[in-house]
């Protein structure tokens, strides 16, 4: 779908900021989330989790639990099949351990009982005999040939010799002659970096309500970023047909990538099947931290060469990501994203994915990119410091643009990086004075953005209103954006459109709400669905007027004769056409199904000012500005919201958030008290500057905006703190003990 | 004739080449011919590859037409958050 | 689990004394409910003390204030008299948790929870506060400093409950201050903390001081050498340096997920110095 | 465990219910009284999603036992609007895009109302510290703070 070339168009409603359609439900407490649904005869499900980081399950005795009054079903891996498909098997094994528990918190049994209290009691009655195995949680340790092996036989053909079996895959990208490039450099800096695993930290714990009757028909209500993918996974694991399992996405209390897979849903369905009753499972916060997907932790080496003038001559990155106890493909994305912002003659990135005894990583906003770009942007900043160059000017000098051969292979089309950098350079924030102990940091960010499988059905109601059925859970206001695009295309007011998110039986397959895809892909499909409905409406008007269909055009919400030759008829509005639809051929609708491509990459630039307390190492964020290209901001409030929310998640990642493991391999901070997401008093306002450089792949020029904003804060904060204290920091989070340690070492 | 660029870690599986010339008019023909010529690439193709055509990433669309003189780059299949 | 809501402290003490299983006192509940949720404690009996007469009140007494065991942080912060006389105690109590937790959490609960990182305890010890205890054998008074016995433990015996703490009267020129370090601005547990209570004479010279550290040892630490370093001075830099050195020497912290030995020791000194200066400024303003 | 009967007033309505002695007020409100606008984000008082007022004091309902509500007045998000007439905070949250996923919104609205009831003209810093116990992971707080400020301004001028 190409950008509409007539799109010097003046948008009428796209770009405005109307109230979101789900607003009243959400401010009155009526919106129904994962844990808010009940069913008659419902049982409470609860899950038994491993206290060990790594152990063989010698035996599980569930007899005492089964005998407890009120217990209706107990399940273990013995109640599940073994899927042939490796990916599906991994998903299932993560939901219910088979043979071994692979991390602290790994599920290995579950009960359904008449109350939550009885279920909890029953869990305590399950007797497990564990044979404790050596464990490994650090990525570098896990790569060593003598490391404890998390899973045997999972290395792909591309992993080189001399490494532990924990290394599951290797990748390499780049072009040009590195040696020649480094030879041209006046200064080469090599640094090693580490970043901790962080959690998406959505406030709503995973929750679901499952029923599966004796005839094999099932219903599942759950909070998810993708009800269709949940259906694929659950139907596959349960061995039932997709048509027999209807999955309804509840309102979702945050996901950020973490709700793109299943953890409890197959367990609830299995309990429901065994008990013959509906089963609800709601995770505790502790379970969310222990057993859902944080992001990867990383260990990275970066080497960059620069001329005295600031031109980068060669760049190299080696990235090692641990993604928990199951294979993942996250380092590929980091390796491709690492140098995306730069126009480089010689670049190489290498990546290794590694297994450890930690929960399986899940996607988290631009998965794999933030840590790689943090390391790269840190070294670029240090080069600028040492060569006494302006860091923004250096970024501009080296910025990728249309025609640049990207570090991951393709040549860039229209991208907004230069304009974004120029906007940052011109902004008063960049030239504002700083006081002692303060520092300013800058970082570029990048994400690929994706499209994907999308279906939209658009119905013209006889009263002139419009209903849109789409299949992607609304996380950040997408129902508003989709309604806006439909209203724009149809030429009717926004409040005449209502968009709903359908269950899996009501619409064709939709990919998960991920990859910053919804406003782009669902928007695109909505525009096309509206266009097909418009074609029908023009046809109806043509018949009423007795003229040729192609002599009718659609303008300002009305069918009109194309010109004086077509005849002199007063325009017919959408409502007028809809009112007589029964007489003119029946209901009017449009629909569109596509596997959308052309999402267009996204760049952002962040500026951060911090002040560091030199006596305690505490960092205070004083000022923060986000610059990002949105292509076209459909609902600017929610574009800003993505930019602000992503930035603050990145700030948390940079300063305090981390998974902390003890020597025993147990997670020590499975709660919001010691997993420190930023609170309101930690932050300044997050200022935003939206740029609109149309995406050539969308009729309105829309670009996804959701993921890029989490990428730059890591380096922006690290560069700011490093400049404030006069010592380079190479590890996240920059918790006060680390910062104070660096200050004291500096002397 | 299209020249298909492959990423670094695939090169050892394709006789060390970084660009491969193929007679292909669509993404599917690219995949089929790569797999036929270099069987070692088949596991990765099965796991998922995307194609960047003149800078635009097509994740799955087999029948994406490849005009002459196009830049064709293979990429690992990716997903976001 | 049984739930009881006695009307008098004596009844509460009897309930606690007579319970053969595990008993817990419920005032604000902000620790005990978290422990129950985590499965750390499964009480057989919970004694809600909030219906006991006067236990939710703040009363003037001998120029000081008696703070009932069920007085929440929010309630304390709304009491102009206590805020004026013991600003450090109030600011310590008000650092316990969020606004929501402030609506419930009590200083006595904070004390009895036995955490070495409890915010109000260093300030209470610096204030020379005295706990009033009712037990099966009657009522006794005990300095707050003598209540903590180590992480999660107190010196209270079975059946005893603290019904109030007494904050004594203040002379002219006296003030206190409390500071803690946390990675976030709110919603955190002290990594290190310091309370300083001091009195200035008419010349502005420190004539009396108590310096107390939290989260740097199994129990709250009253650092007599630190106080001695301040007494007789105007808190000039050498005096403050000596106090900081004494504080750091008194630290015996642990490495854990919240901080390291080195960090806690270093920061405890910084906080003590800053708290001393704040207390001095407050005292100066009052003299 | 034997249940206890409690009489409580929720959003002005006198209600009676049974609850187990170890059941939290949060569970009583959600599971026994059907007030699912009160959300559970952590169960340990660290996220504020379950914020309610208890006799006028802002509390986390996960840190209150249900039995403690006997004889008390509880206020939840369901009581903010007067029939179909939204509270200014609710309107400003919608108009100012101060919610994205909305799971933290009920707790934040209850907390913000408790603030404005005490202090009709809070500074930005006062709002940020008052709401520090209410985690939001979507918005970065920016639009929440601004919505509270604009609602407060409207309420002052009313």
Render pLDDT for C155-213 as a digit per residue (tens, 0 to 9): 999 999 999 999 999 999 999 999 999 999 999 999 999 999 999 999 999 999 999 99
Q: How far apart are CA A242 and CA A273, in angstroms?
A: 16
Q: Chain B: list its partners (3+ Cβ pairs within 8 Å).
A: A
What pLDDT score does A8 carry? 65
Is C27 part of any domain? no
Question: What residues does A125 pair with on adjacent strands?
Answer: none
Q: How far apart are CA D26 and CA D39, in angstroms?
A: 8
Q: Mean of the pLDDT values across residues A571-588? A: 98
**Rounded percentage of chain A residues whose pLDDT exceeds 70:** 99
CATH of the domain at C179: 3.30.390.50
**Number of neighbouring beta carbons within 10 Å of residue A672:** 23
* CB nearest D129 (choices: C36, C100, C186): C186
Work out the widest C-alpha separation in chain D, in whole angstroms: 52
CB-hemisphere CA count at 13 Å for D45? 32
- Matching CATH number, A451-596, of 3.10.520.10, 3.20.20.60, 3.40.720.10, 3.30.365.10: 3.30.365.10
D157–chain A nearest CA distance, Å: 23
Question: Which of C58-97 are b and which e, b meaning 16 or more Cβ less than 10 Å from the residue's Cβ?
Answer: beeeeebbbbbbbbbbbbbeebeebeebbbbbbbbbbbbb
Contact A205 D41 (CB under 8 A): yes
Residue A5 in this model has a pLDDT that exceeds 80: no
Which CATH class, in words, describes the domain spanning D88-157? mainly alpha
Identify the three-state secondary structure at position A549. helix
DSSP one-letter string for chain C: -EEE--SSHHHHHHHHHH-SS-EEEESS-TTHHHHHHTTS---SEEEE-TTSTTTT-EEEETTEEEEETT-BHHHHHT-HHHHHH-HHHHHHHTTSS-HHHHTT-BHHHHHHTT-TT-SHHHHHHHTT-EEEEEETTEEEEEEGGGSEEETTEESPPTT-EEEEEEEPP--TTEEEEEEEE-SSSSS---SEEEEEEEEE-TTS-EEEEEEEEESSSSS-EE-HHHHHHHTTS---HHHHHHHHHHHHHH-----BTTB-HHHHHHHHHHHHHHHHHHHHHHHHHH-
As a dihedral over the C-alpha atoms of residue A386, residue A387, residue A392, residue A393, rounded to 10 degrees, the angle is 180
**Number of neighbouring beta carbons within 10 Å of residue A324:** 27
pTM, entire model: 0.97
C188 & C214 share domain: yes
D100–chain C nearest CA distance, Å: 23
Of residues A416 and A434, which shows the higher confidence score? A434
Tell me whether strands C161-167 and C174-181 are parallel, antiparallel or unpaired. unpaired
Is C145 part of any domain? yes
Q: How far apart are CA D129 and CA D110, in angstroms?
A: 15
Write out chain A residues lying below 8 Å of D99, CB-based.
23, 26-27
Phi, psi of C31 (to 5 degrees): -100, -45
Q: How far apart are CA C169 and CA C172, in angstroms?
A: 10
Query: What order of strands is seen across the sheet that includes strand C206-214?
Result: C174-181, C192-200, C206-214, C221-222
Contact A253 D102 (CB under 8 A): yes
Phi, psi of A663 (to 5 degrees): -60, -20
Identify the three-state secondary structure at position D111. helix
Q: How far apart are CA C169 and CA C171, in angstroms?
A: 7
Q: A655 touching C, CB under 8 A?
A: yes
Architecture of domain B2-76: Roll (3.10)
What pLDDT score does A217 carry? 95
Q: How far apart are CA A392 and CA A387, in angstroms?
A: 13
What pLDDT score does C286 carry? 64
Q: How far apart are CA A219 and CA A453, in angstroms?
A: 23
Residue A157 in this model has a pLDDT that exceeds 90: no
Q: Domain locations in chain B?
A: 2-76
ipTM: 0.97
Is C55 part of any domain? yes
Contact D59 C100 (CB under 8 A): yes
C161 & C247 share domain: no
**Number of neighbouring beta carbons within 10 Å of residue A631:** 30
Q: How far apart are CA A569 and CA A646, in angstroms?
A: 52
What pLDDT score does B1 carry? 86
Per the document, the length of chain A is 747
pLDDT, tens digit, 9 for 90 and up, residues A318-371: 999 999 999 999 999 999 999 999 999 999 999 999 999 999 999 999 999 999
Q: How far apart are CA B41 and CA B63, in angstroms?
A: 20
pLDDT, tens digit, 9 for 90 and up, residues A49-85: 999 999 999 999 999 999 999 999 999 999 999 999 9
Report whether A504 contacts A245 (CB < 8 A).
yes
Residues 412-431 of A with CB under 8 A from C: none
Report whether A601 contacts A417 (CB < 8 A).
no
CA–CA distance from C216 to each of C183, C194, D103 (Å)?
A: 16, 10, 38
Q: Mean of the pLDDT values across residues C126-144? A: 97
Query: What order of strands is seen across the sheet that includes strand A207-212?
Result: A71-75, A107-113, A43-49, A279-282, A207-212, A218-222, A245-249
Show the low-confidence residues of chain D (pLDDT under 70): none
Question: What residues does A189 pair with on adjacent strands?
Answer: A304
* Those residues with Cβ within 8 angstroms of residue A672's Cβ, 6 or more apart along the chain or in another chain: A201, A285, C187, D41, D42, D44, D46, D47, D135
Q: Domain locations in chain D?
A: 4-79, 88-157
What pLDDT score does A2 carry? 76
Q: How far apart are CA D42 and CA C1, in angstroms?
A: 23
Q: Domain locations in chain A?
A: 43-133+204-253+259-291, 297-449+600-746, 451-596
C121 & C77 share domain: yes
Is C93 part of any domain? yes
A524–chain B nearest CA distance, Å: 16
- Matching CATH number, A43-133+204-253+259-291, of 3.50.50.60, 3.90.1170.50, 3.40.50.150, 3.90.1150.10: 3.90.1170.50
What mean pLDDT is reported for chain B?
Answer: 92
Residue of A nearest to B19 (CA): A409
Q: How far apart are CA B1 and CA A730, in angstroms?
A: 47
Closest listed residue to residue A135, CA positions, set A607, A667, A524, A737:
A667
Range of C179's domain? 174-286
* CB nearest D103 (choices: A22, A23, A203): A203
Q: Chain C: list its partners (3+ Cβ pairs within 8 Å).
A: A, D
pLDDT, tens digit, 9 for 90 and up, residues A232-251: 999 999 999 999 999 999 99
Which H or E run contains D108?
helix D105-118
Is C152 part of any domain? yes
Which H or E run contains A443?
strand A438-447
Q: Mean of the pLDDT values across residues A617-628? A: 98
Q: Chain A: list its partners (3+ Cβ pairs within 8 Å).
A: B, C, D
Write out chain A residues lying below 8 Å of C187, CB-based.
672-673, 676, 679
Q: What single-letter DSSP state applies at residue A360?
A: P
Tell me whether strands D57-60 and A207-212 are parallel, antiparallel or unpaired. unpaired
pLDDT, tens digit, 9 for 90 and up, residues A651-678: 999 999 999 999 999 999 999 999 999 9
Identify the three-state secondary structure at position A321. strand
Closest listed residue to residue A679, CA positions, set C97, C117, C29:
C97
Q: How far apart are CA C157 and CA C147, in angstroms?
A: 11
Contact D111 C100 (CB under 8 A): yes
Q: Mean of the pLDDT values across residues C122-132? A: 98
Is C41 part of any domain? no
Question: A and C: touch, per 3+ CB pairs < 8 A?
Answer: yes
Q: How far apart are CA A88 and CA A80, in angstroms?
A: 12
Instruction: Kindly report the CATH number that applies to the domain delimited by A297-449+600-746.
Output: 3.30.365.10
The alpha carbons of chain D give a radius of gyration, in whole angstroms, of 16
Closest listed residue to residue A587, CA positions, set A469, A499, A463:
A463
Question: C and B: touch, per 3+ CB pairs < 8 A?
Answer: no
Contact B13 A366 (CB under 8 A): no
What pLDDT score does A1 carry? 65
C119 & C154 share domain: yes
Is C102 part of any domain? yes
Residue A6 in this model has a pLDDT that exceeds 70: no
Report whether A624 contacts A647 (CB < 8 A).
yes
C130 & C57 share domain: yes
DSSP one-letter string for A658-714: ---B-TTS-BS--STTTS----GGG---EEEEEE----TTSTT-----SSGGGSHHH
Question: Which of A109-135 are b and which e, b meaning 16 or more Cβ less than 10 Å from the residue's Cβ?
Answer: bbbbbbebbbbebbbebbebebeebeb
What pLDDT score does C287 carry? 56
3-state helix, strand, coil split of chain A in percent (to 5) is 30, 25, 45
* Those residues with Cβ within 8 angstroms of residue A648's Cβ, 6 or more apart along the chain or in another chain: A678, A683, A686, A713, D139, D140, D141
Question: What residues does A248 pair with on adjacent strands?
Answer: A221
Question: What residues does A128 pair with on adjacent strands?
Answer: A60
Residue of A nearest to D42 (CA): A285
Do A297-449+600-746 and A451-596 agree at the fold level? yes
Report whether A310 contacts A387 (CB < 8 A).
yes
**CATH superfamily name and code, D4-79:** Beta-grasp domain (3.10.20.30)
CA–CA distance from A685 to each of A76, A211, A660, A681, A724 (Å)?
A: 49, 45, 29, 10, 21
Residue of D nearest to A648 (CA): D140
């Amino acid at each position: 779908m190409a950008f509409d070339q007539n799109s010097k168009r003046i948008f009428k409603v796209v770009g405005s900021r109307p109230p979101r359609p789900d607003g009243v439900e959400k401010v009155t407490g009526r919106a129904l989330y994962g844990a808010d649904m009940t069913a008659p005869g419902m049982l409470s499900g609860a899950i038994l989790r491993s206290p060990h980081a790594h152990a063989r399950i010698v035996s599980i005795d569930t007899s005492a639990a089964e005998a407890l009054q009120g217990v209706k079903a107990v399940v273990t891996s013995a109640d599940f099949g073994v899927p042939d498909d490796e990916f599906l098997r991994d998903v299932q094994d993560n939901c219910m351990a088979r043979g071994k528990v692979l991390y602290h918190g790994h599920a290995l049994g579950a009960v359904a009982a008449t109350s939550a209290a009885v279920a909890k009691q029953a869990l305590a009655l399950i007797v497990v005999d564990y044979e404790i195995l050596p464990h490994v949680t650090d990525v570098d340790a896990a790569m060593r040939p003598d490391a404890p092996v998390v899973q045997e036989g999972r290395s792909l053909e591309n992993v080189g010799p001399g490494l532990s079996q924990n290394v599951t895959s290797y990748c390499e990208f780049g072009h040009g002659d590195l040696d020649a490039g480094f030879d041209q450099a006046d200064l080469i800096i090599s640094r090693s970096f580490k970043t901790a695993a962080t959690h998406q930290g959505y406030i709503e714990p995973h929750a679901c309500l499952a029923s599966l009757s004796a005839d094999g028909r099932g219903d599942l209500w759950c909070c998810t970023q993708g009800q269709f993918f949940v259906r694929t996974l659950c139907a596959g694991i349960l061995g039932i047909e997709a048509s027999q399992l209807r999955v309804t996405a509840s309102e979702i209390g945050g996901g950020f990538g973490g709700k793109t897979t299943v953890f409890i849903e197959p367990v609830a369905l299995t309990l429901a099947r065994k008990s013959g009753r509906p089963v609800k499972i709601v995770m505790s916060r502790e379970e969310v931290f222990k057993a859902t997907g944080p992001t990867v932790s990383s260990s990275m080496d970066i080497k960059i060469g620069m001329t005295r003038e600031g031109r980068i001559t060669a760049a190299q990155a080696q990235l090692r990501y641990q993604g928990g106890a199951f294979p993942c493909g996250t380092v590929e994305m980091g390796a491709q994203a690492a140098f995306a912002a730069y126009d480089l003659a010689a670049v190489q990135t290498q990546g290794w994915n590694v297994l450890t005894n930690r929960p399986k990583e899940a996607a988290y906003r631009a998965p794999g990119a933030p840590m790689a770009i943090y390391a790269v942007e840190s070294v670029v900043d240090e080069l600028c410091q040492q060569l006494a160059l302006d860091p923004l000017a250096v970024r501009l000098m080296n910025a990728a643009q249309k025609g640049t051969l990207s570090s991951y292979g393709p040549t860039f089309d229209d991208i907004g990086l230069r304009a974004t950098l120029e906007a940052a350079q011109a902004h008063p924030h960049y030239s504002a004075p700083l006081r002692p102990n303060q520092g300013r940091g800058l970082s570029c960010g990048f994400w690929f953005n994706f499209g994907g499988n999308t279906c939209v059905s658009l119905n013209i109601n006889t009263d002139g209103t419009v209903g849109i059925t789409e299949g992607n859970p609304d996380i950040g206001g997408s129902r508003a954006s989709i309604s806006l695009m439909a209203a724009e295309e149809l030429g009717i007011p926004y409040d005449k459109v209502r968009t709903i998110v359908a269950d899996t039986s009501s619409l064709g397959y939709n990919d998960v709400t991920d990859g910053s895809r919804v406003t782009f892909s669902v928007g695109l499909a909505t525009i096309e669905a509206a266009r097909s409905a418009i074609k029908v409406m023009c046809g109806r008007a043509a018949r009423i007027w007795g003229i040729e269909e192609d002599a009718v055009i659609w303008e300002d919400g009305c069918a009109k004769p194309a010109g004086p030759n077509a005849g002199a008829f007063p325009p017919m509005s959408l409502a007028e056409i809809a009112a007589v639809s029964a007489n003119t051929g029946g209901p009017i609708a449009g629909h569109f199904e596509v596997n959308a491509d052309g999402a267009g990459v996204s760049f952002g630039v962040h500026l951060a000012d911090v002040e560091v307390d030199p006596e305690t190492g505490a960092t205070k964020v004083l000022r923060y500005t986000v610059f990002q290209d949105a292509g076209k901001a459909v609902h600017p409030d929610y574009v800003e919201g993505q930019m602000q929310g992503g930035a603050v998640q990145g700030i948390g990642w940079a300063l305090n958030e981390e998974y902390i493991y003890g020597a025993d391999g147990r997670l020590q901070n499975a709660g919001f008290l010691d997993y420190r997401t930023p609170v309101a008093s930690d932050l300044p306002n997050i200022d935003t500057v939206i740029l609109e450089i149309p995406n050539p792949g969308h009729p309105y020029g829309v670009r996804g905006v959701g993921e890029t904003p989490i990428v730059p804060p890591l380096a922006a904060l690290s560069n700011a703190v490093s400049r404030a204290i006069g010592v380079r920091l190479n590890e996240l989070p920059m918790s006060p003990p680390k910062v104070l340690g660096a200050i004291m070492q500096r002397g | 004739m299209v020249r298909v660029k492959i990423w670094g870690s695939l090169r050892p599986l394709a006789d060390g080449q970084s660009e491969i010339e193929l007679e292909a008019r669509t993404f599917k023909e690219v995949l089929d011919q790569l797999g036929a010529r270099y069987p070692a690439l088949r596991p990765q193709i099965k796991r998922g590859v995307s194609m960047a055509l003149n800078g635009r990433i097509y994740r799955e669309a087999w029948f994406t037409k490849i005009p002459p003189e196009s830049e064709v780059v293979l990429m690992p299949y990716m997903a976001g958050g | 689990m049984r739930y009881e809501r006695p009307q008098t402290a004596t009844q509460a003490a009897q309930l606690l004394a007579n319970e053969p299983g595990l008993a817990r006192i419920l005032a604000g509940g902000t620790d005990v409910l978290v422990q129950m949720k985590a499965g750390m404690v499964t009480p057989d009996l919970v004694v809600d003390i909030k219906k006991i007469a006067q236990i939710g009140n703040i009363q003037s007494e001998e120029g000081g204030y008696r703070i009932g065991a069920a007085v929440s942080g929010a309630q304390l912060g709304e009491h102009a008299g206590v805020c004026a006389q013991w600003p450090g105690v109030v600011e310590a109590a008000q650092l316990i948790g969020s606004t929501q937790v402030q609506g419930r959490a009590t200083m006595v609960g904070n004390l009895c929870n036995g955490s070495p990182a409890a915010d109000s305890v260093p300030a209470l010890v610096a204030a020379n506060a005295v706990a009033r205890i009712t037990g099966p054998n009657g009522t006794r008074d005990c300095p707050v400093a003598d209540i903590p016995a180590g992480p999660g433990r107190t010196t209270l015996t079975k059946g005893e409950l603290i019904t109030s703490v007494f904050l004594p009267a203040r002379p002219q020129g006296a003030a206190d201050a409390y500071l803690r370090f946390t990675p976030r601005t709110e919603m955190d547990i002290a990594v290190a903390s310091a309370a300083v209570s001091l009195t200035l004479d008419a010349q502005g010279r420190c004539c009396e001081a108590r310096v107390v550290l939290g989260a740097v040892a199994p129990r709250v630490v009253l650092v007599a050498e630190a106080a001695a370093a301040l007494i007789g001075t105007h808190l000039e830099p050498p005096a403050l340096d000596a106090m900081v050195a004494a504080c750091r020497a008194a630290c015996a912290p642990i490495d854990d997920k919240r901080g390291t030995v080195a960090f806690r020791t270093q920061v405890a000194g910084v906080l003590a110095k800053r708290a001393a200066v704040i207390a001095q400024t407050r005292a100066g303003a009052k003299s | 465990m034997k249940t206890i009967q409690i009489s409580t007033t929720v959003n002005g309505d006198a209600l009676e219910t049974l609850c187990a002695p170890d059941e939290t007020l949060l569970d009583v409100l959600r599971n026994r009284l059907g007030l699912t606008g009160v959300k559970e984000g952590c169960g340990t008082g660290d996220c504020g999603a379950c914020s309610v007022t208890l006799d006028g004091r802002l509390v986390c309902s996960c840190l209150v036992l249900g039995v403690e509500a006997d004889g008390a007045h509880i206020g939840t998000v369901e009581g903010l609007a007067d029939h179909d007439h939204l509270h200014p905070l609710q309107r400003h949250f919608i108009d100012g895009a101060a919610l994205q996923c909305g799971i933290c919104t009920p707790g934040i609205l209850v907390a913000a109302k408790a603030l404005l009831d005490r202090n009709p003209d809070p500074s930005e810093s006062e709002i940020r510290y008052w709401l520090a116990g209410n985690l939001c992971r979507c918005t970065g707080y920016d639009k929440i703070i601004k919505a509270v400020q604009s609602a407060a301004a409207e309420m002052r001028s009313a």
